Amino acid sequence: MAVVTITNDNFEEEVLACKIPVILDFWADWCGPCKMQAPVFDALAEELDGKVKFGKVNVDEQSALSLKYQVMNIPTLIVMDHGEFKERAVGVQNKEALKALLNM
Protein backbone atom coordinates (compact mmCIF):
# COMPACT_ATOMS: atom_id res chain seq x y z
CA MET A 1 0.00 0.00 0.00
CA ALA A 2 1.48 3.30 -1.04
CA VAL A 3 1.37 6.45 1.04
CA VAL A 4 -2.07 8.01 0.59
CA THR A 5 -2.68 11.72 0.08
CA ILE A 6 -5.23 12.74 2.71
CA THR A 7 -7.63 15.59 2.04
CA ASN A 8 -10.66 16.96 3.81
CA ASP A 9 -12.77 15.14 1.19
CA ASN A 10 -11.32 11.66 1.78
CA PHE A 11 -10.44 11.97 5.50
CA GLU A 12 -13.50 10.14 6.80
CA GLU A 13 -13.10 7.21 4.39
CA GLU A 14 -9.29 6.90 4.53
CA VAL A 15 -8.70 7.68 8.23
CA LEU A 16 -11.81 7.61 10.41
CA ALA A 17 -13.31 4.46 8.83
CA CYS A 18 -9.98 2.61 8.53
CA LYS A 19 -9.82 -0.74 10.35
CA ILE A 20 -6.04 -0.58 10.88
CA PRO A 21 -3.99 2.16 12.56
CA VAL A 22 -3.26 5.25 10.45
CA ILE A 23 -0.25 7.52 10.80
CA LEU A 24 -0.56 10.98 9.28
CA ASP A 25 2.38 13.16 8.29
CA PHE A 26 1.36 16.84 8.32
CA TRP A 27 3.89 18.54 6.02
CA ALA A 28 4.50 21.30 3.43
CA ASP A 29 6.59 21.57 0.24
CA TRP A 30 8.67 24.45 1.63
CA CYS A 31 9.55 22.67 4.91
CA GLY A 32 13.15 21.40 5.10
CA PRO A 33 12.57 19.05 8.06
CA CYS A 34 9.50 17.64 6.23
CA LYS A 35 11.77 16.72 3.31
CA MET A 36 14.06 14.92 5.79
CA GLN A 37 11.07 13.03 7.26
CA ALA A 38 9.69 11.85 3.90
CA PRO A 39 12.19 9.03 3.12
CA VAL A 40 11.86 7.57 6.64
CA PHE A 41 8.06 7.73 6.41
CA ASP A 42 8.05 6.13 2.95
CA ALA A 43 10.45 3.32 3.98
CA LEU A 44 8.34 2.45 7.02
CA ALA A 45 5.21 2.50 4.85
CA GLU A 46 6.75 -0.26 2.74
CA GLU A 47 7.92 -2.21 5.77
CA LEU A 48 4.55 -2.10 7.54
CA ASP A 49 2.42 -2.48 4.42
CA GLY A 50 -0.99 -3.91 5.35
CA LYS A 51 -0.47 -3.40 9.09
CA VAL A 52 -0.61 0.41 9.16
CA LYS A 53 -1.95 2.97 6.67
CA PHE A 54 0.38 5.91 5.96
CA GLY A 55 -1.10 9.23 4.88
CA LYS A 56 0.30 12.65 4.08
CA VAL A 57 -1.59 15.88 4.77
CA ASN A 58 -0.32 19.02 3.05
CA VAL A 59 -0.93 21.77 5.62
CA ASP A 60 -1.05 24.49 2.95
CA GLU A 61 -3.81 22.72 1.02
CA GLN A 62 -5.69 21.16 3.97
CA SER A 63 -5.74 23.93 6.55
CA ALA A 64 -9.04 22.72 8.05
CA LEU A 65 -7.47 19.36 9.00
CA SER A 66 -4.41 21.12 10.40
CA LEU A 67 -6.64 23.32 12.53
CA LYS A 68 -8.81 20.41 13.67
CA TYR A 69 -5.76 18.48 14.92
CA GLN A 70 -4.02 21.59 16.27
CA VAL A 71 -0.96 21.25 14.07
CA MET A 72 1.20 24.26 14.93
CA ASN A 73 4.61 22.97 13.76
CA ILE A 74 5.62 20.66 10.95
CA PRO A 75 6.37 17.92 10.47
CA THR A 76 3.75 16.66 12.91
CA LEU A 77 2.95 12.96 12.94
CA ILE A 78 -0.41 11.85 14.31
CA VAL A 79 -1.52 8.27 14.94
CA MET A 80 -5.22 7.43 14.64
CA ASP A 81 -6.70 4.03 15.48
CA HIS A 82 -10.29 3.17 14.51
CA GLY A 83 -11.03 6.88 14.08
CA GLU A 84 -9.62 7.92 17.46
CA PHE A 85 -6.58 10.09 18.12
CA LYS A 86 -3.86 8.05 19.87
CA GLU A 87 -0.43 9.72 19.64
CA ARG A 88 1.41 12.78 18.33
CA ALA A 89 5.06 13.57 17.61
CA VAL A 90 6.44 16.90 16.43
CA GLY A 91 9.67 17.22 14.46
CA VAL A 92 11.68 14.75 12.42
CA GLN A 93 11.41 11.19 13.77
CA ASN A 94 13.65 8.25 12.94
CA LYS A 95 12.29 4.81 12.08
CA GLU A 96 12.58 3.50 15.65
CA ALA A 97 10.71 6.52 17.02
CA LEU A 98 7.93 6.04 14.48
CA LYS A 99 7.62 2.36 15.40
CA ALA A 100 7.44 3.33 19.08
CA LEU A 101 4.74 5.88 18.24
CA LEU A 102 2.80 3.07 16.56
CA ASN A 103 3.52 0.65 19.44
CA MET A 104 5.23 -1.77 17.03
Is 18 known to be catalytic? no
Number of residues in the chain: 104
CA pair distance 42, 12, nearest whole angstrom: 22
8 A C-beta contact, residue 62 and residue 91: no
Q: Of residues 3, 28, 31, 90, which has the active-site annotation?
A: 31
Residue 13 zone, left/alpha/beta (φ > 0; ψ -120 to 50; rest) = alpha
Q: Of residues 4, 6, 15, 34, which has the active-site annotation?
A: 34
Residues assigned a catalytic role: 31, 34
